[in-house]
Each structure stands twice: as C-alpha cells, then as structure tokens.
Amino acid sequence: MESVPQRKTILSGMQPSGELTIGHIAGALRNWVRLQTEFDSLFCVVDQHAITARQVPADLRRRTLDLAAMYIAAGVEPEKSVIFIQSTVPEHSQLAWVLTCLTGMGECSRMTQFKDKSERHSDNINVGLFTYPILMAADILLYNADLVPVGEDQKQHLELARNLAERFNHHYSPTFTVPDPFIPEVGGRIMSLQEPERKMSKSDPNRNASIFLTDTDDQIRTKIRRAVTDSGSEIRYDETGRPGISNLMSLLNVATGQSFAEIESSFANVTGYASFKEAVGEALVSYIAPIRDRFLEIRADEERLRSILRDGAEAARGRARKTLRKVYKKTGFVDLTEK
Ligand code: TRP
C-alpha cells in the first residue's frame, strides 16, 4: 500500500536553562528549520534534563515556554514539526527506567559531560546528572529517530543511545531503530564576544559576552562594537590565530549566509576592524530583529502557544505510547488492558 517511501525521522531537543542567545539559533535552530521540510521531525524542550541542575520553578516554567516560542520564532513550524515539552509525555521517563536497568555504571561514569559537570557543580552531583544520557536515549528511541541533529559535544551520549538500542534489540527482539548523529558542518560554533576562545554561553555573567534574543538593536550594535578582536587588521578566517575576528565572521555567516571566502574577499581592501564590525552589527540586527519580534508576538499570546504545545504533546504521545507498549510487553510487564 505504501508507495511513497517513508521519510526518515529526526528528533532533537534543547534544555530550557539560561537565556536565549544567538548561539541557539546558529548551532541548532537554523539547521532544524532546514531539516523539517525533508524529515519527519520532532523537537522537544527537555525540561526534565534541566532539573539535573537546580532550577527556580517559576523561572523553569517561563524558560520552557520561552524556548518553545523561540523554536517557532526561528522558523520551526508547528504544521511541519511536532513541537513539545518532554515532561508532558510521561513515556520518556517510563522508557528511561527500563533503559536504566540495561545500562552499566561504567557506561555512565565514562561520560565526559558528566565528569565536567560534576567538577563544575561539585555541590550538586545528583544521580540525575549521572543518568542524564539514559533519559536522552529514551527521548530518541521512543520515536525511532533515524537521525539526531546535535553538536559535537553530544556524540558520546548518542553512542550510548545506539548501544542501548542494539542491546535491547539483541536481548529481546528488534524494537528500536539505531540512531545516527547528524552533526552540521562547522560554522555553527559561536564564541564569547569577550573571550573568543570560549563558547558563547547563555549563563556567562558578563552580559557583553553574548547576544541575547531579546537584545535591542542598539544593544546588538554596541556589543559587536565592543567585541574583543585580535591584533592585526585583516579580515581573515583563522580560528586559532584570530579567534575574535573569526567569531565575528561566523556571526556574519549566520546572519547573511555568506561563506568565509566571500566575506574575506568583500573586505579585502578594508583595513582596521571598525567598518567590519559596523557591517557585522548591521547584519545581525537585520537578522535577529524579525526573529525577536516574532518571539515577542508568540510569547504575548500564551494561550496559542500552549495550544500548539498541547497538540505537540498529543502527537508525540500517540507515537511514544506505541513504542512503550512494545517495550513493556517484551520486558515482561503485565498488560491489564489485554483480555
Ligand atoms: N543533551 C542535549 C544537550 O544538552 C539535549 C537533549 C536531550 C537532546 N535530549 C535530547 C538532544 C535528544 C537531542 C536528542 O544538548
């Protein structure tokens, strides 16, 4: 009956921790928007992952809705993609438990992100931080995602998801699709404007280091003008030798789509960074302003946003429930709905 080949499924998610920056758009959203036309797409706000760090409840609630609104403002369309909040689909935690019982302690303790995070937050090394990648595996495997768009830093987590899928399939019978990471070509990494050797972080205490989605046009221009650059005066891409200028070039690439080679040739006769910075500032303003305005508009109509997320949860749950039912059955749990 099915003459049309089934589209592949992608799933990705972001944590609602910290404020929204251009890094979210450059690193992930830009990509999701492109992918949603080609793939069966699910995009999740992973609020359950966020509580592995301590959260103020009201802030978490607001940021969860903010992040979902940002997905939409950046161009993820509820008509094309399933947009939902992780905690509204209880099957994620339910599958995570089954997978937890298939995971070795050693597998979790090897995770470099766990090691990093437990060093940075030595006052709160909770078990959730430890089992975080298992919940992420559940997010992915519940929907039989073929591809998972993530950054390089998530590759190890994805490897665990693959291993768990294979382990379950082997131990019981074929159930899960073994997912592949889908890592975009370079260009997505946006660095701090003040310390361009470090990633731009939503939680950087120096507000001049990041471009926030809610910055005004003038704030954007000022931050770019004040961005730390390197000694020299040429506009040339060299991530290690000239991290400051290279980062501004990445931002210009995000805003205009111009390649580094194109940027270099159009600024070949320019000496000094001032006019380059002006150009980057203006391009960013033109790029961010419509996204910011759409974000504010979506956020002003919370009823509509909630309704989109309710529809997303329902669509996601329909699919998640089917997978979980199979998993429970194979695991040996009693199904009381069966006659
Ligand atoms: N761990 C991911 C990150 O911090 C977020 C995440 C959670 C995720 N579940 C996911 C990403 C499932 C992709 C698929 O970036």
pLDDT of residue 121: 85
Catalytic residue (choose from 80, 199, 322, 326): 199
Residue of 233 and 294 predicted with greater confidence: 294
Give the pLDDT band (50/70/90) at residue 314.
Answer: very high
Query: How many angstroms separate the CA atoms of 284 and 225, rounded?
Result: 12
Ligand 1 nearest-atom number relative to CA 132: 1
CB 210 within 8 Å of CB 193: yes
Pocket test for ligand 1, best of 9, 15, 95, 141 (most atoms within 8 A of CB): 15
CA–CA separation, 283 and 206 (whole Å): 23
Cβ-in-10-Å burial (0-12, 13-18, 19+) of 4 comes to exposed
Catalytic residue status for 117: yes
Task: Output the residue whose Cα is nearest ligand 1's atom 6.
Answer: 13
Q: Is the pLDDT of residue 1 over 80?
A: no
Q: For the residues of 89-145, what is the DSSP string, one character each?
A: -THHHHHHHHHHTTS-HHHHHT-HHHHHHHHHTTT---HHHHHHHHHHHHHHHTTT-
Residue 234 banded pLDDT, cuts 50, 70, 90: confident
* Block residue for tokens 């073994």: 178
Work out the average pLDDT over 90-107. Answer: 98
**149 and 12 Cβ atoms separated by less than 8 Å:** yes
The CA 5 to ligand 1 mean position distance, Å, reads 28
Write down all domains in the chain, each with its CATH number in brackets. Answer: 9-187+302-331 (3.40.50.620), 207-297 (1.10.240.10)
**What pLDDT digit, counting tens, does each position of 186-219 carry?**
555 789 999 999 988 877 888 899 999 999 999 9
Residue minimizing CA distance to atom 13 of ligand 1: 12
Which one-letter amino acid corresponds to residue 17? S
Mean pLDDT across the stretch 218-239? Answer: 91
Q: Which residue is it, tokens 């009381």?
A: 336
Is 322 a known active-site residue? no
**Range with lowest mean pLDDT among 19-28, 106-115, 216-225:** 19-28
Q: 183 pLDDT exceeds 60?
A: yes
Given a contact cutoff of 8 angstroms between Cβ atoms, the answer to whether 134 and 26 are in contact is no
Measured from the Cα of 145, ligand 1's closest atom is 14
Index of the ligand 1 atom closest to the CA of residue 46? 7
CA 45 to ligand 1 center in whole angstroms = 9
Residue 199 is among the residues annotated as catalytic for this protein: yes
The rounded Å distance from CA 283 to ligand 1 centre is 30
Secondary structure (DSSP) of 27-95: IIIHHHHHHTTTSEEEEEE-HHHHTTS---HHHHHHHHHHHHHHHHHHT--TTTEEEEEGGG-THHHHH
- In three-state secondary structure terms, 147 is strand
- Residue 109: C-alpha distances to residues 112, 116, 151, 214 (Å): 8, 11, 21, 38
pLDDT beyond 90 at 3: no
Q: Residue with the nearest Cα to atom 7 of ligand 1?
A: 136
Residues 6+ apart with CB under 8 A from 140: 11, 148, 158, 161, 179
For ligand 1, the distance from its centroid to the CA atom of residue 19, given in whole angstroms, is 17
Q: Does position 83 have pLDDT exceeding 80, yes or no?
A: yes
Report DSSP state, residue 153.
Answer: G
Q: Give me ligand 1 centre to Cα 271, in Å.
A: 42
Is the confidence at residue 239, as pLDDT, over 80?
yes
Among 202, 322, 326, 330, the active-site one is 202
Expressed in angstroms and rounded, the spacing between residue 13 Cα and the centre of ligand 1 is 5
For residue 336, give the H/E element and its range: none
Quote the ligand 1 centre to 112 CA distance (angstroms): 15
Per-residue pLDDT at 38: 96
Question: What is the model's pLDDT at position 114?
Answer: 94
The ligand 1 site (C-beta within 6 Å) comprises 11-13, 15, 46, 49, 136, 139-140, 148, 150, 154, 157
Ligand 1, closest atom to CA 49? 7
Atom of ligand 1 nearest to the CA of 139: 12
- Torsions phi, psi for 329 (to 5 deg): -65, -50
Structure tokens at 124: 């709160």
> pTM value?
0.93
